[in-house]
Amino acid sequence: MKAYFYDNLPGDQRLPHDSGKEVTVAELEKVGVLYFRFPDVEGVNGLASERGYKNRDEIIVSPEKMGAIYETKVRQFFDEHLHEDEEIRYIRDGAGYFDVRNEGDEWIRIKLVKDDLIILPAGIYHRFTTDDTNYIQAMRLFKEEPKWTPLNRTEGLDENPYRQEYVTQFLKAQAEQA
């Protein structure tokens, strides 16, 4: 895992866009993002049991696996959105980027590779893309039945109760500590 501020320069979203300003795991935790590295599924199973993740599935995002819809899906994943559930991804193969917003509404880019696991809290604005290899295989973990409902960032979404809870728990707490 490598995390840094996104450079905001134009160009292919699948490129690193590394600003050169690194972000630590502790800084990610301040915005609610949890990172783990598990060289085998046993570690994932332990975390799943500890956090109450009862269901899982696996997804492969690649042109070979998805065919003609690959480009459309990757663009859709890259639209800024939030979920009303935690988003948990364990990378089985390949690589990709999760971009998350910090307390200053700046993008932090997190590159994940095989054996990395990330947990994004409900209500955090984020987006995802594969890297320039156009391939990632990820295990998705869920507390209940598998679902993936993105709510794209639009005017008024800040009023969503899951967003409000996220802001109170992470962003306002940081502002009060500053």
Annotated binding site: 81, 83, 87, 126
DSSP letters, 81-101, are EE-SS-EEEEEEEEEEEEEEE
Annotated binding site for Ni(2+): 81, 83, 87, 126
Q: Other CB atoms closer than 10 Å to residue 116's CB: what's the count? A: 21
The whole-angstrom separation of Cα 115 and Cα 119 is 13
Annotated binding site for Fe(2+): 81, 83, 87, 126
Query: Amino acid letter at 11?
Result: G
Element (H, E) at 172: helix 172-177
Closest CA to 50 of 135, 143, 145: 143
